[in-house]
Amino acid sequence: MSHRPPSGLAAVSAALLAMSRHLEVRDVLKTIVASARELLDAEYAALGVPDDHGGFAQFVVDGVSDEQWKAIGPLPRQHGILAAMLHGARTERLADVRKDPRFEGWPSAHPDMSDFLGLPIRDGDETIGALFLANKRCPKPEGVCGFTAEDEELLSILAQHAAIALTNARLYERSRELTIAEERSRLAHELHDAVSQKLFSLRLTAQAATALVDRDPARAKGELQQVASLAAEAVEELRAAVVELRPAALDEDGLVATLRTQVQVLDRAHTARVTFAGAGVRALPAAQEEALLRVAQEALHNALRHADAAHVDVTLARRDGATVLRITDDGRGFEPAATRRAGRHLGLVSMRDRANGVGGRLTVQSEPGKGTTIEMEIPGG
């Protein structure tokens, strides 16, 4: 049984370690693209991050000179095979991309490409990018080249790390939009508690793979599989943090849809079962909807990070002419009457202030060993 040359595994390890060395996302993307090209021994590699207008917000290439890239012209659009990867969410491995019926040609300065391997970069159910390579190098001039199933498997590992980079970019951009010191502090704690340990483990495992590359490629590949698992967990936890920073989604999606999305993300990111039920609630003034969202986020944070809950249920409903948000968990609970200090730590003061500030009220029911129920009621809805 033949093994991939150690230099290939070293390229994978270099790409993984780059995730913890670089702060600028574009630098990370460049490293991933260059490593993919080296690992799979291709002439060209590219990674595109789509925008909402049929184009690409970022498009990173390797194997094309700066002069050639300028001569090619504007960034590509989401059409042909690129569109199939982005919208169909499937891997494309082609012997000759030019013979595919979806091929729509390229600019005159574009390099000629034949064999092609591309796959979508996925964050949960969302396709957030496309990573692809072209022109597998032949070991012999007369050899028949083409990407293999093993190439596809290794590229999928890199794609998971591309997902981390892109999710982290969103997190960084959202963090700059925060204007309240309390929100900044909460984000810092979220990242430290939820993500830093995963990334630390990921880095150590990648370093172990690097150390094994030359003497035991098979074990090195096993370590890389563990890295892929850690990467998937880190993506979910980063995505959960990103979603919490998106009150702007209220304007487009409304409170019910926004809460449902956040609960779904948290359910994937944590071992606890998190559910949401909401129906029959009419739109509220923007300030009231944002207050309800922030109280829900704070209560969910407490239940998942501090209460050691196995189940957390969120409901939003109408009751006696009012809108009622209820978050119930089966965690360790506490004694509300004796937790002025703990209450401040758990954000109860902040939640009450938010409720009072929009004409609502907050009630807390809890008992040691019997979980907690937090309810916020606002007239109307």
Model confidence over 130-158: pLDDT tens digits? 899 999 987 655 556 789 988 898 888 87
Give the pair of three-digit tokens for residue 23.
């702060």
Give the pair of three-digit tokens for residue 127.
């396709």
Q: Where are the domains of the chain?
A: 6-240, 249-379
User: What per-residue confidence (pLDDT) applies to 105?
Assistant: 83
**Rounded distance between C-alpha atoms, residue 283 and residue 41, angstroms:** 55
The pLDDT confidence band at residue 343, using thresholds 50, 70 and 90, is very low
CA distances from 55 to 48, 59, 131, 196 (A): 9, 10, 15, 33
**Which residues on adjacent β-strands are paired with residue 319?**
322
Closest CA to 147 of 138, 286, 303: 138
Model confidence over 102-118: pLDDT tens digits? 888 888 888 889 999 99
User: What per-residue confidence (pLDDT) applies to 312?
Assistant: 95
Helix (H) or strand (E) holding 221: helix 217-244
Model confidence over 276-332: pLDDT tens digits? 998 778 888 888 888 898 899 889 988 887 788 999 999 999 988 899 999 999 998
Model confidence over 60-106: pLDDT tens digits? 899 998 888 888 888 777 778 888 788 877 889 999 999 998 888 88
Instruction: Give CATH for domain 6-240.
Output: 3.30.450.40
Instruction: Give CATH for domain 249-379.
Output: 3.30.565.10
Instruction: For the chain, give the percent of residues with pLDDT over 90.
Output: 18
What average pLDDT does the segment 172-190 reach?
A: 54
User: What per-residue confidence (pLDDT) applies to 150?
Assistant: 87
